[in-house]
Structure 1
Amino acid sequence: MTPTPSTPPSRRRLLQGLAAAVCLGAAPWALAAPYPEITWDDLMPADWDPTKPFRDLQKPDLRSDSDPRVQALYDRLRKVWDEAPTVPSMAGRQVKIPGYIVPLESGKNGIREFLLVPYFGACIHTPPPPANQIIHVRADPPVKGFKTMSAVWVSGTLGLERAGSAMGASGYSMQAAQVAAYTNK
């Protein structure tokens, strides 16, 4: 079928893309489908309760940030959250997820590596979110036009890879296929 002015625009684009793929030697089924959108909740196991390890704390009598018990509690929280479980079935999935950028490696060519986090200020203020709420994103080529805490949509392939950084531990990795400014659909 050859696209004509009477062919609906969406079908016309599909046919043009299919024709381009065939001309370039790609198999028609290799055309990239849109990345399905996921939420941050999808990255947490359904049975994981991040408060469970802290049920022994009723009303902690902590006087100030300099109290050694505050640091002990913080260290305990970091250990539990850095070891937060991931969802094995997410490995290898192509997804699209919104979040905020926390740059790890950037330069004049843009941001090559960053953490994607679910809420504004995460990883900048302590404590950072649990590892299953942080995605270590690699972008090649580097992305331009974004800065710390820019709201973005990131599309790519998820991996289960724990990595530590000064900003927090990530439970997921992603090779970004696209990073775009966030829009509310």
Structure 2
Amino acid sequence: MKTQLPLTRRQFGCLALATAALPRMAFAMPFQDLTWEELIPPGVPYSEIIGEGALDEKNDTWNPIFDENATKLNTALDGASVKLPGYIVPLEIGAEGVSAFILAPYTGACIHVPPPPANQLVYVTSQTPWPLDKLLDAIWVYGRLNARLQSTEIAEIGYEIVAHKIELYDW
């Protein structure tokens, strides 16, 4: 019968250091620059995600009617570490700033006009709130993208990211 020897202090120390470095190495992966068009599945033209629409005369707004392509997601990107530009539509605002928001491809989306289709919106949460005085600025959001349809009072959303980092978009 073989007996197992306990780890030496040196072996234990090396194992502990290696284990502690794993989460940092996972975040050290490069972030893939992503465009909004890439959120639409391959083979689905942008022109096919927005169908006919109807005028809401009471509220004086145009309501697009999305077809089934509007909720089709690019599942090949599920779990990818990405960097995506966009604009903030705030959902959770506190004294420190915005900690949950919808990332939209253009300014004013979901607020002054009907929202874009679900595959053109990303639900973002962040441990570090984004400053209130920079809400109108274009930003980059870095994080792991998850393809997951969800509904809010504002819009249907196709993706989500827990932000690793948010920064101003550099023109």
TM-score scaled by length of structure 2: 0.73
CA RMSD of the aligned region, Å?
A: 3.3
Which residue type is aligned with residue 42 of structure 1?
E
1:179 to 146, 156, 166: 166
Residue correspondence of structure 1 range 19-30 to structure 2 within 5 A: 25-27=20-22, 29-30=25-26
Q: Flag the structure with higher strand content.
A: 2
Name 1:122's counterpart in structure 2. 109
C-alpha deviation, 1:141, in angstroms: 2.9
Name 1:66's counterpart in structure 2. 57
Does 2:42 align with 1:42?
Answer: no
2:126 to 139, 148, 153: 139
CA contact (8 A) 2:44 2:69 kept: no
* 1:112 to 1:35, Cα distance in 2 relative to 1, 3 A: same
Distance 2:48 2:26 in 1: 45
C-alpha deviation, 1:169, in angstroms: 1.3
Question: 1:67-113 deviations in whole A, cap 9, x for unaligned?
Answer: 8xx99x83x61x53795211011110000011001110011022110
Percent sequence identity is 33
Q: Secondary structure at the match of 2:161?
A: strand
TM-score scaled by length of structure 1: 0.68
C-alpha deviation, 1:52, in angstroms: 4.3
C-alpha deviation, 1:157, in angstroms: 0.4
* 1:54 to 1:26, Cα distance in 2 relative to 1, 3 A: closer
Name 2:142's counterpart in structure 1. 155
C-alpha deviation, 1:170, in angstroms: 0.8
Aligned length: 153
Distance 2:151 2:29 in 1: 32
Name 1:112's counterpart in structure 2. 99
Where do 5+ consecutive residues of structure 2 fail to align?
Answer: 1-16
Which residue type is aligned with residue 57 of structure 2?
S
Mean CA deviation greater in 143-152 or 103-112: 143-152
C-alpha deviation, 1:181, in angstroms: 0.9
Mean CA deviation greater in 106-115 or 82-91: 82-91
Distance 2:146 2:103 in 1: 14
Question: 1:136-156 deviations in whole A, cap 9, x for unaligned?
Answer: 001013233554432100000
Where do 5+ consecutive residues of structure 1 fail to align?
Answer: 1-21
C-alpha deviation, 1:125, in angstroms: 2.2
Distance 2:50 2:162 in 1: 34
